[in-house]
Chains A and B, each alone.
Chain A
């Protein structure tokens, strides 16, 4: 059974700092890994999707890496801004009985202090 864990559960950093969020998964047989952002009471916004054959993806100030063999991914946020405050979820897509199933991590609640 695939399990996804995110550390830390919560993180507060001053504005302008660079930061790293961590995600680990137990089964390396994945199709892809995604990072999402969720604002309080809202749905999910997809940030980055990394295919299993890729090592990293970049979008603006965000960079996500994937080490499939060790079951780890990191989301790097450069020059953090108060608007980055949100909960960040990672999720992996795994084959389950011939279908694809998305398993979410527990999330990291990020607060950027102005």
Chain B
């Protein structure tokens, strides 16, 4: 149990385009989902926290208009990188939390490369 998937696993796009990344909890309902970003050889940095049915809470320094987060259901959250630029190239990882488990379960990550 407690499996989290991400799609796509890898995406390459041109500068200026938008990219959507999906995060799904496959076998449990996630009241809260988190989005992290990881640059090469660095640790994970929390970008935002999203609760189902409400607006996401963004960490300081993260542009909410650039990184759009939608948590429309208890099993799906999406992160859209709008007008992507090469500096947005990174590894994006989501996690999902269930009140039943009291811990976060992580997806396999999405490698974004912006040309």
Contacts and interface: CB of A to CB of B under 8 A. Distances in A.
Contacts of B109: 41-43
B43 A104 contact: yes
Interface residues of A, number: 22
A44 interface: yes
Contacts of A100: 97
Task: Specify the main secondary structure of chain B where it touches its partner.
Answer: strand
Contacts of A105: 43
Contacts, number: 44
A44 B93 contact: yes
A43 B21 CA distance: 15
A32 B45 CA distance: 18
22 contacts: A32-B102, A34-B103, A41-B111, A42-B109, A43-B6, A43-B107, A43-B108, A43-B109, A44-B44, A44-B106, A46-B103, A46-B106, A49-B103, A91-B44, A99-B49, A101-B49, A102-B34, A102-B95, A103-B46, A104-B44, A104-B45, A105-B43
Interface of A: 31-32, 34, 36, 41-44, 46, 49, 89, 91, 93, 99-107
7 tightest Cβ-Cβ pairs between the two chains A and B: A43-B108, A44-B106, A43-B109, A104-B43, A104-B44, A106-B43, A43-B106
